[in-house]
A and B are shown apart, each in its own frame.
Chain A
Amino acid sequence: MHSETRLILGGLTTLAVATAALVVLPYITIADSAPAPGLKPYTPTELRGREQYIQHGCVYCHSQQPRARAFAPDAKRGWGRATVAGDYAYDDPPLLGTMRTGPDLMNIGARRPSDQWHLGHLFQPRAYVPGSIMPAYPFLFDMRDSAEPGETVVALPPGTVPEGKVVVARPAALDLVAYLKSLDRSYPALAADQ
């Protein structure tokens, strides 16, 4: 090869083809998918919780994309129907995930509607799911002798914390749980090819 101009232009052309296929066409066709009927926008608390979900890297172990029955038994595990673009209309960015070191969470709000379960599970996952390898998040809580009025005390299984101590949820933990409970796409939706 003798010409750097042809080299660089050629290289940029091949990248342009790829960008057209993977970025521009999806931008035109699905970037502004209308919210699926039945999908509610997040509340400010849930959005703050979503920030917690992002900053603690939950996405690296939990997907948010149950797959079709023909592909995997996700629905039979209770993770919900296959999602469609409209399910993510309020998700900026969408947190599809690439790992299932832990279960899919797209419908965890429907599966686990209890605040207390989530709070306790975040404080010490192994007190709820024996053998779980999920990290514990003690820094989202305070362990004290007694709680102030208005604070949320976490009801933990016996033996999780020393006798006489109470565990109080910090606002970040409450926000995160509000977000987890909002993950509920159990309303019906049709995929484009169904």
Chain B
Amino acid sequence: MSPLAILMSAFILSIVGLGFFIWSQRAHLTDPSTEGSEVIFAAGEIGTPEEPAAPSGTTRPAADADDAELAARARADASTAPLVFFFYCCAFVWLLVASAAGLTASIKLHAPDWLTAEAWLSFGRIRTVHLNAVAYGWAPMAGLGTALFVIPRLLKTELVGGRYALLGAALWNAALIAGLGSLAYGVSDGLEWLEIPWQIDLLFVAGGALIGLPLILTLRRRQVAHLYVSVWYMGCALFWFPVLFLVANFPGLHHGVEQATMNWWFGHNVLGLFYTPLALASIYYFLPKVIGRPIQSYNLSLLGFWGLAFFYGQVGGHHLIGGPVPGWMVTLSIVQSMMMILPVAAFTANQHLTLKGNLGALRQSPTLRFMCLGGLMYTASSVQGSFEALRSMNAITHFTHYTVAHAHLGLYGFVSLVFFGAMYFVIPRITGRDWPWPRMISAHFWLASTGIAIYFVSLTIGGWLQGRAMLDESRGFMESVLLTLPYLKARSVGGAMMALGHVVFAAHFVRLLIARGARRTAAGPFATAAEGI
């Protein structure tokens, strides 16, 4: 079959498949009522922002809101508080570990004779520690912690089986400590994103299953008819990840170059079907909540969700363009990478329409600032990724630092910023204390956003020039190495700013915990819960 025919049939199959899916999943697709998107508010609460991270006095409790519903939400928050607190504490630790490892790796690329005496500090190992501390530490701990906080609120019930999740999180973190230790010691399975030895992966599987269990138990006790958008993303992510992880790490199953296709099926899906949905779910919940107004279009969110579910899973082959793998598979992945523009556009339009006229809230709300910038970065990194998958562009950017810049735009600019925003909202609710120093939130925001901007711009330019140099056979290979040096140094500057931002964030959290005479958030339902029940 000719490539064009494959391309066309993949395209048509995708469209038909997606249409069928949305049709089969729809509930009153053309129903003009916005009931589905209003489920996150109590009766009479629309129009009232909830922003626990804003300086005290800028948010008021909703005067007209149904007290019983607010009390129920406070009980939902209270049911998750100790659990989410544990997840977030772990997230802070892994964030700092990952920052230190990442910054070390970055500096080593332009100072290769720095810290060479110890094997565990060599670039190949410390870089791997950085990636795994982000991939299995910071991102899942922050994302799952947020999911466990949000899900009972969305289902209007208390969390059921939180103890399983606590045990699961303990196992998960024990596995990660063992995993990072073995990587530093020099025991690795040798596949990117799947380096942690499969024997340790068994612990992750057990821990992950225990963390997912409360979701099912809580779903069965739900008090709402409508499953809100965030539940779709979080619910599916919690089912997708175990499938990905089990199939990918199954010992002895994969052989030869098929291991490479499986590797990138996993590598890209852990981003697209785990971190991305957890972060999008957070935006879909916190953004309307903070501005006090339901999302604009329920149907656009439906398209965004099923589009992501359908297309994202098949894009991994674009990591192997030009490699020794079947051509049809690479072509399929390129087509589906371009198709991802569809759900991304749906999400972007929805976010924009919801925010329209509410941009003033950005000044008041730290949560919103992180979320909005994160949402913009989702659009930017997704569109960039789609074009990066095209053969003409991939020929230049593949194998260069350009890809590294893109990966950080997605996992930092989008996912991490969104999780920062969520944590600023959730922590006052689960601890019953205000953030003591609003200026430190600003410092964190500007360090993180300026840092990633420097990181991304410098590495994108450096990577592009590197790729152009490698494609020109008249230029020696060393030229492609030497020309990247100024950009690699700039990346270390950006990375250092990001790391400093994380230190500020963590120090602020510690300050909140040890604050004397802990103040309850004036507007928070947590206060209501503690006093009124």
| A residues lining the B interface (CB < 8 Å) | 1-4, 6-8, 10-15, 17-19, 21-23, 25-27, 29-33, 54-61, 63, 65, 67-68, 71-73, 76-77, 82-85, 87-89, 91-103, 125-126, 129, 131-139, 191-193
> Dominant SS at the A interface?
loop
A97 to B122 alpha-carbon distance, docked (Å): 18
Q: What bracket does the count of chain B residues touching chain A fall in? A: 35 or more
Interchain CB contact under 8 A, B471 and A57 = no
Minimum CB distance partner of B119 in chain A: A139
- Knowing A33-B257, A139-B119, the reply to whether A58 touches B124 (Cβ < 8 A) is yes
- Chain A residues with Cβ under 8 A from B36's Cβ? 1
- Chain A residues with Cβ under 8 A from B306's Cβ? 10, 14
Q: Report the minimal beta-carbon distance from A128 to chain B, rounded to whole angstroms.
A: 12
Interchain CB contact under 8 A, A30 and B257 = yes
- Knowing A8-B235, A14-B21, A72-B470, the reply to whether A82 touches B188 (Cβ < 8 A) is no
- Chain B residues with Cβ under 8 A from A27's Cβ? 254, 258, 262
- Chain B residues with Cβ under 8 A from A58's Cβ? 124
Interchain CB contact under 8 A, A57 and B124 = yes
A55 to B258 alpha-carbon distance, docked (Å): 22
A31 to B255 alpha-carbon distance, docked (Å): 5
A98 to B124 alpha-carbon distance, docked (Å): 13
Interchain CB contact under 8 A, B258 and A26 = yes
- Chain B residues with Cβ under 8 A from A54's Cβ? 188, 190
Known: A15-B273, A60-B128. 20 other contacts (CB 8 A): A1-B27, A3-B227, A7-B232, A11-B309, A18-B269, A18-B314, A26-B262, A30-B326, A59-B192, A73-B472, A73-B473, A77-B473, A77-B477, A87-B324, A88-B257, A99-B403, A133-B112, A136-B116, A137-B116, A139-B118
Question: Is B127 close to A, CB under 8 A?
Answer: yes
Contact of A7 among B17, B227, B313 (CB under 8 A): B227
**Most chain B beta carbons < 10 A, residue from A8, A15, A137:** A15
Contact of A85 among B119, B123, B125, B257 (CB under 8 A): B257
- Chain A residues with Cβ under 8 A from B232's Cβ? 1, 7, 11
- Knowing A8-B236, A139-B117, the reply to whether A88 touches B256 (Cβ < 8 A) is yes
A191 to B485 alpha-carbon distance, docked (Å): 37
Question: Is B355 close to A, CB under 8 A?
Answer: no
Contact of A98 among B108, B403, B480 (CB under 8 A): B403
- Chain B residues with Cβ under 8 A from A100's Cβ? 399-400, 470, 480
Q: Report the minimal beta-carbon distance from A179 to chain B, rounded to whole angstroms.
A: 13
Interchain CB contact under 8 A, A31 and B256 = yes
Minimum CB distance partner of B227 in chain A: A1
A8 to B329 alpha-carbon distance, docked (Å): 26
- Chain A residues with Cβ under 8 A from B112's Cβ? 125-126, 132-136
- Knowing A8-B236, A57-B128, A133-B112, the reply to whether A32 touches B256 (Cβ < 8 A) is yes
- Chain B residues with Cβ under 8 A from A138's Cβ? 116-117
- Chain A residues with Cβ under 8 A from B261's Cβ? 22-23, 26
Minimum CB distance partner of B394 in chain A: A71
Minimum CB distance partner of B239 in chain A: A8
A183 to B36 alpha-carbon distance, docked (Å): 59
A2 to B28 alpha-carbon distance, docked (Å): 10
**Most chain B beta carbons < 10 A, residue from A22, A30, A33:** A22
Contact of B313 among A14, A32, A137 (CB under 8 A): A14
Mark contacts of B232-253 with chain A using CB atoms, 8 A cut-off: 1 yes-contact digit, 0 otherwise: 1001100110011001000000
